[in-house]
Every structure is written in C-alpha cells, then in structure tokens.
Amino acid sequence: MIEYFFSLVIITAIWALLAQSYNLSFGLTGLFNLGHIIFYGVGAYTAAILNTKYGWGFLENIGAAALFSGIFAAGFGLLTLRLSGHYLAIATLGAAMIASVIATNWISLTNGPLGIRGIDEPEIFGITIEADSLLFVLLYVTVVLLVNILLYKLFHSPFGRLLRAIKDDEIAAQAAGKNTFKAKTWSLILSAAFAGIAGALYTHYRLFLDPTIFALPEIIVLVLMVVVGGRGNFWGAILGTILVIFIGELPRFIGFPDSIIGASRNIMYAALLIGTMFWKPKGLFTFFEKK
Amino acid sequence: MKTLLDVRNISKRFGGLHAVENFSFAIEKNTIIGLIGPNGAGKTTAFNLITHFLPRNEGSIFFQEKNLKKKPPYALIRHGIARTFQQIRIFPELTVRENVLLSLSWKYDSWWKSFLLQDESEENATAYKLLSEVHLEKHRDEKAGNLSYGQSKLLEMVRTIATGAELILFDEPAAGVNPPMLNTVKKLIRNLKAQGKTIFIIEHNMPFLMEMAEEIIVMENGKFLCRDVPTKIQKDIRVLEAYLGGS
Amino acid sequence: MSELVAQLIWNGLVTGALIALVALGLTLIYGVAGFIQFAHGEIVALGAYSFMVLHKLVGWEIVPSAIAAVISIIFVGLILERFFFRPVRDEDPMVPLVISIGLSIGLQAVILIFFGPNILTISKKTFHSLSLFGGKILATPSQIWAVVLAIILMGGTILFLHKTKIGKALRAVASNRDIAEVFGIHVNTAMRWIFGVGAGLAAVAGIFLGFEQNLEPMMGVMIAVKAFSAVILGAVGSVRGAIIGAFLIGLSESLLVGLGIIPSGFTAAIPFIILIGMLLLKPEGLFGKRFTALRQ
C-alpha cells in the first residue's frame, strides 16, 4: 500500500514538472503547441539511450536531456513559430505524430516498438536508489521542487512579464519594442528543456521506454492539467496535475471493473475539461493569481 | 532646423487598390505635425508604413539621416520611432504599471539577465512619474483591462512615450476622450514638445489639431494634397473639397 | 506496373473522398464558428456505429439504415452545438476548442462502454473488377458509392453555399459574424446549419469508413487528423482548398507507400510531412490569404 502511495507521488512529481514546463510556453506565452510531448519524449529517449549505450548516470542524463530537448526546440521553434493559432496547433500535433512514427521506425536508435529495456535506476554518490522507495520519492520531489523554483522565478521575472504581454497582444508587444519572435523561441526552448528533464525522470523511474510516450492521450492529459488549473497560472498547473492524477485513480478506488477503468477515467477527464470551460474558463485555480 | 524624418515616395498597394501612393514629406526635429484627410485617405496606412508594421511596395524612409530599409517594427522603436494604434492596444491581463514597465526596461528582455538580476526600482519610479502625468498612478496595480476607454487610451500613450522614442506617432489621440481627459492629452503632448521630442498626429478633431499642431499635412486618396500652418489649411479650398468628396 | 498504379490511384481517391467529407464539415465549422472541432472524428465514428447497429443488429436494409444513421447523427451535431458550443460562443476561441477535445475523449469512452473493445465489422468485402486509369482495378460497391456520393455531396455543398439564401448568409457570417443579422439570419440559425451539415457529411464518411475498416472507438481519430491537415493545407475556411487538400493527402499516402517511395511504417506521418512542408513554403495555405474565411 505504501508503495502504491509512493508511486503516486513520484508520478505526480514527474507530471507536475511536465505540466509546469508546458504552462510556460502554452499557458504563459500563449503558444498553442500541441506537440509539447515531443520534448518530453526526446528527453526520455536521450536519457534511455545515453544510459543503455554509453552508461551515463542519472544526473548527467538530466543535464543532457535538458540540453538536447532545448536544442531540438530551437530548431522546432524556427520551423513552426512563424505560424499562429490553429496553424501552430495542427502543425505541432502533426509533429508529435511524426515523432511517434520516427521512434517506432528508427530501430537502430530506439529499438522500435519493442522499446528500450535495462535502464539503470538512479545512482547518487554511489548509492543506487530503488523505485518506489522513500529515498526515491525524496530524490524526485527534490529535483521537481528545485526546477519548479526556477520556473517560479522565471514566471515572475520581467521576462515572464514579456511572455504574458505577448500572449495578450503580440503586435502591442512589438510596438513596445520587443522582439517577440526571439522571446517566443526562448520560451519554447526553456519549456522544452524542462520537459526534457521530466522525460529523463520518467525514463529512470519506469526503466523502460517505448514510442507510446508520444501518444495522443498523453497530449490530452497534458492540456487537461494546464487548462484545468489555469493557463499561465503557476499554482494552477501544479494543482491541476494533482487533481487530474487523483481523478485518474478514482475508478480504481471505487472498484470499477477493469474493462471500463480506462473509459470511465476518460469520461471523468472529459467532464472535468468541459465543466472547467463552462464554469471557470480561465482555470479552477485563478484565485491564486495576483490581481 | 534639422530634419528628423524624411519619407520619400512611399507606396502601398492592397491588390489593385493604392492605399498610399507616392507619398513624400519631411518632419523637422521638435515639432508637432498633424496628418488629416477624409476617411480612407490612407492616414493609418501611412503610419503603418512609417513604423514598418506594413511593408511598403516602394519608396524609402530616412530617420536621423539613416535609411531604415527593412528593419522589423520592434527595432524601429529602439531607433526612436514609436506609435499608438487607432484601435487601442494595451495588455489587458497585465497591470497598469506592468504595461508601462514593459516599454521602459530593455535590459531584462533576455531571460538570463531577467533571471539573475531583477532590480527595477528605477524603472518603477519612472513608471510612477509617467502614470501620475495622466492621473493613472492610483490604478497602477489594477489590471489594465479594467480601465475605461479614455484611461486605456492614456495608458497606451504613456506606454508609447515610455519607450523613450524621439519621434512619437499618435493615431487619433483625441477620439472618444472626454474634455477633462482631452486636457490631460494636450498637456502630455506639450510636455513632450518641451522635452525636445517630435510628435506626429492623425486626428479628426480639428479644434484639437488647430490648437496643438504647428503644421498640418493633408492626404487624399492615398496621395499628398497639401501642407501648411493650421490657419491656412482651414481656409484651403482643396482641403474642403477633399472632405466634401469633390475633385 | 500500370495495374498497380491504377489500383493505388483508386485507393487514394477512396481515402481522399472520405477525408474530403470530413474536412468539408471541419472547414465550414471553422469558417463560421471560428475553431477547429476536435470531436469531429468521433462524429464520424458515431455514424459508423449507428449504421452498424441499424443494419446488422436491427437488420434493416442498407439504404434505410444509412439514411436513419445520417439523420440521427445530424441530431447529434445539433445537440453538441446547442449544449456544448453555443454557451461559450463569445469566449476566447480556445474555450470551444478545449471543449471539443473533452467531447472527443468523452465520446470515445462512451462508445467503448457501449460496444466494448471488441473489433466489429459491417460486412465482408466483395470486389468488382473495373477498368479505370489505364488498368484493371478491384473496387468494392461501397467504394464506388463512396466516391460518387462524395462528389455529389461536395458539389451540393458548394451549390448550397453559393446558390441558396441560407448558404450565402453562412458565407457572410463567416466573413463577419456581426453582419449575420443584416442578412436576416440569426447567428444561432447559422451555427445550427453549420453543425448539422458538418455532422451529416461526417456521418456519411463514417458509414463508408465502416465498410473499409473495422469499427473501434478510436476509428475517427486518424481520419479527423488527416482532415485537419487537409483543411489547413487548403487554407482554413476554404471549401475548395479543403477538398483539394483531402485528395492530395489521400492520393499521396496511397502512392508514396504503394510504390515503396516511403516505407509503410511512415504512413501515419505522410499528411503531416506534406502539411508542415507546405506551411513552411506557403504559410497561408494553398488557396489564399490567411484569416480569410469560407471562400470557395
């Protein structure tokens, strides 16, 4: 039972980081990028490949995943950020599907649909930390907390203000003398780097990685967490993550038969998403926002 | 007097329509110039061309004797040309103070600087001073979206001034503004003039322009019609005909 | 070789016709309501399932089952408009879009609960041999009907938009929502028409799709995603653009994979490779200026 609880905390921590990283580009900057999951996947594959092929450890992999996802996002941003609104949404959704196809077919690198096995558990100062142990929980919560502190500072910095201004009115931001394309690209790069860290955390927790990491349901859960909490609201993304994961576990708690657990979870997600849009379209946790 | 802005033969076509055609004029430093013309004469298009929010088909623009070529709009602001919009553009989800801070501080536009050092006390003081000039200092921590129409207009003007630009283009600063606020607008513009700035104004409110502008340029059908001091413009038969849809 | 090419062209045309029916509804909804309806694929799936229920479980003939299925799905479209999209019509376009994402996963789950994860089929395929495109090809009756009916429906939609009063009004609403009243049409009426027509076209696509592949709750996702690409490929809101985009995707998918130019593992990526390539070359879509809605 305690292991189940620990696993839930670890999953929540990883998703909280991923959701917060998405909140930076989608929520704060207003980039309707439906391909954010790519950066998570790139981070996860970076860690998995570096670990299994070159023996890189947990901490190096976090750095490498952030760096590689960030560089990837720079290219991605140069290609897509000239687009706006729905064009950006569909092009990036398409990019996520392309990523999934590449991960499935580039067998020599990713081992295709069979996935990568034999990933090492995190090792810090020579101590191996086992999954679902208290130490593992502490490690992951600490990493996620540290990265979230960085993100909090970024959200509330003058750069964060610039990103919010771009979301409000990009033309006005240009009229205020801001290079909005550069700011949007940096927002995407940073957001991707943090998603890459979340991906590395996922890899070193699950110890197995396959192309389903790029799947559509993952994208929808991510949108759900940020939108329910409140786009661009720092605390909203964290509370949104906790709420979504809690609701996702409910069917199992209630004791629904296995055959409909997935479906009933999706119905609850749908109700949460639609209910939020009707009741508080700016997110359920908008009361944490400064006036 | 020294020429600040020199616009030479600019043209803009939308499909087959000539919105601005072969339009030339120059503006001297530290003057207040008005731009008038009937609806659809191409005034706002001219503003968009000068500030590069629209690319021009032909012509060139010199500012402080430098050819502006194809610089993006944000870069022009760093050179010293700033503008307001006919349809007010402020940041409704940002506070009033943040709206002004945004154009005041360049130094934190890159995220790492923004991340490491965040002392904005100087900018905050400047923002407070600017907001007091238009009586918005009491609203500084409210969301800009909550301001009234007139207040939003003043905020947009202040945000534009805060860029520190030498040449400021106001698109209809007096439209829809009540008399007490109109006085604030006038004071704001006179202060700018006193500080050595150059102001270029599109306006339909003739009494306002008669009072403020030193010279008025008239446009008709995308073309230059005439240019003179306000009292002469008022009596010019060509201007009257343009407004009556004649010629 | 030419036999193969002819067959591939035919397969591409069938896929393209089905994508076009879905894309037509999407582009109309985008043009008038201003957002991409993510649950449009689930309307396709509902069309296939309701036809299957009437035809196989209730035992009706094909034609009455199809007509009844299309009519009931039109009602589904009207219900979605009335209860999910109308209340948020004046919000930021992100709001109806997010609601449609919610509807998409919700409807999939509902289908899953009703029909279970078992794969269902409508009928076994029977092929006819035809001579087309300079070679002998195999085509099922439903494929032939799909192509013929799709062309009729596309032509009908275009005529409807250009020749009828309500169609002209819809085009006016698409270019400016406030102008609707001037044309003597209420915005609510316009929305009902758009969602009704869109759902009807999607239901037709769903019924034919059910003859082509197995029925499963997520069957609408891939065709919807291809239709999104088609809509954007042809410039959002453009009817002609969406149709041409759909056939472009259907044909290139079939030919590129069938001729071995692209390995079959990459099939799912083809619409997006075309789409992203095109967006980089011509960001405003194949047909037109960006942000101009519903031009034919």
Instruction: Look at residues A16, A286, A25 and name the one whose alpha carbon lies nearest to residue A155.
Output: A25
Backbone phi and psi for residue B28, each to the nearest 5 degrees, phi listed first = -85, 155
E strand or H helix at B216? strand B215-220
- List chain A residues with CB under 8 Å of C93: 85
Please answer yes or no on whether C275 and A105 come within 8 Å at the CB atom: no
The arithmetic mean of pLDDT across residues B161-173, rounded, is 94
- Residue with token string 């094909």: C62
Residue of C nearest to A113 (CA): C265
Q: Transcribe A58-117 into DSSP letters.
A: HHHHHHHHHHHHHHHHHHHHHHHTTS-HHHHHHHHHHHHHHHHHHHHH-HHHH-GGG-B-
**How large is the ipTM?**
0.90
Residue of A nearest to C85 (CA): A278
Fill in the DSSP letter of residue C59.
Answer: -
Alpha-carbon gap, residue C22 to C41, rounded angstroms: 8
- pLDDT of C271 strictly over 50: yes
C98 touches chain A (CB under 8 A): yes
Which of A165, A190, A291 has its CB closest to that of B91?
A165
If one counts the domains in chain A, the total is 2
Q: How confident is the model at residue C294 (pLDDT cuts 50, 70, 90)?
A: very low
What are the domain boundaries of chain C? 2-222
- To the nearest whole number, what is the mean pLDDT of chain B? 90
If one counts the domains in chain B, the total is 1
Q: How far is A126 from chain C (nearest CA, A)?
A: 42
Alpha-carbon gap, residue C215 to C206, rounded angstroms: 10
Alpha-carbon gap, residue C85 to C82, rounded angstroms: 6
Chain A interface mutation, best of C219, C270, C279, highest count of A Cβ atoms under 10 Å: C279
Query: Two tokens at C135?
Result: 């070679």
- List chain A residues with CB under 8 Å of C105: 217, 220, 266, 269-270, 273
Examine the fold and report which residue of A179, A214, A249 is the final residue of a domain before the chain moves on.
Answer: A214
Which of A79, A85, A101 has its CB closest to that of C265?
A101
- To the nearest whole number, what is the mean pLDDT of chain C? 86
Write out the residues of chain B at the interface with chain A, using a CB-CB cutoff of 8 A: 51, 53, 72-75, 77-78, 82-85, 89-95, 98, 101-103, 105-106, 108-111, 114-115, 118, 120, 141-143, 159-160, 163
Res B120: pLDDT:
84
The whole domain housing B106 covers 3-243
Which residues does residue B215 pair with via DSSP β-bridges, in sequence order?
A: B33
Please tell me whether residue B206 adopts helix, strand or coil conformation: helix
Within this chain, do residues A210 and A221 fall inside the same structural domain, yes or no?
A: no
Within this chain, do residues A86 and A201 fall inside the same structural domain, yes or no?
A: yes
Examine the fold and report which residue of A194, A214, A234 is the final residue of a domain before the chain moves on.
Answer: A214
Alpha-carbon gap, residue C210 to A183, rounded angstroms: 47
CATH of the domain at B50: 3.40.50.300
Count of CB pairs separated by less than 8 Å, A with C: 123
Q: pLDDT tens, A14-70? A: 999 999 999 999 999 999 899 999 999 999 999 999 999 998 999 999 999 999 999
C15 touches chain A (CB under 8 A): no
- List chain A residues with CB under 8 Å of C276: 79-80, 91, 94-95, 98
Q: pLDDT tens, A119-157? A: 998 888 878 888 888 999 999 999 999 999 999 999 999
Please tell me whether residue C124 adopts helix, strand or coil conformation: coil
A90 touches chain C (CB under 8 A): yes
The arithmetic mean of pLDDT across residues A189-203, rounded, is 96
The whole domain housing A241 covers 216-291
Q: How far is B238 from chain A (nearest CA, A)?
A: 35
Res A216: pLDDT:
84
* Least-confidence region, from A200-209, C238-247, C286-295: C286-295
Please answer yes or no on whether C112 and A263 come within 8 Å at the CB atom: yes
Within this chain, do residues A189 and A59 fall inside the same structural domain, yes or no?
A: yes
The arithmetic mean of pLDDT across residues B16-32, rounded, is 91
Alpha-carbon gap, residue B244 to A99, rounded angstroms: 62
Q: How far is CA A207 from CA A51, A202, A203, B83, in A?
A: 10, 8, 5, 56
Residue of A nearest to C88 (CA): A278
Examine the fold and report which residue of A184, A214, A244 is the final residue of a domain before the chain moves on.
Answer: A214
Alpha-carbon gap, residue B45 to B5, rounded angstroms: 17
The arithmetic mean of pLDDT across residues B72-85, rounded, is 91
Q: How far is C266 from chain A (nearest CA, A)?
A: 6
Q: pLDDT tens, C180-230? A: 666 667 888 889 999 999 999 999 999 999 998 889 988 999 899 999 989
Within this chain, do residues A208 and A283 fall inside the same structural domain, yes or no?
A: no
Stretch 187-246 of chain C: residues touching chain A, C-beta under 8 Å? 221, 225, 228-229, 232, 236
Helix axes A85-105, C219-233, angle to 10 degrees: 130
pTM of the model: 0.90
B/e letters for A125-142, b = 16+ CB within 10 Å, e = fewer, are eeeebebbeeebbebbee
Res C206: pLDDT:
96
Within this chain, do residues A248 and A207 fall inside the same structural domain, yes or no?
A: no
Residue of B nearest to A170 (CA): B91
Within this chain, do residues A150 and A77 fall inside the same structural domain, yes or no?
A: yes
The arithmetic mean of pLDDT across residues C281-292, rounded, is 57
- List chain B residues with CB under 8 Å of A177: 74, 77-78, 82, 103, 106, 163
Chain A interface mutation, best of B54, B97, B115, highest count of A Cβ atoms under 10 Å: B115
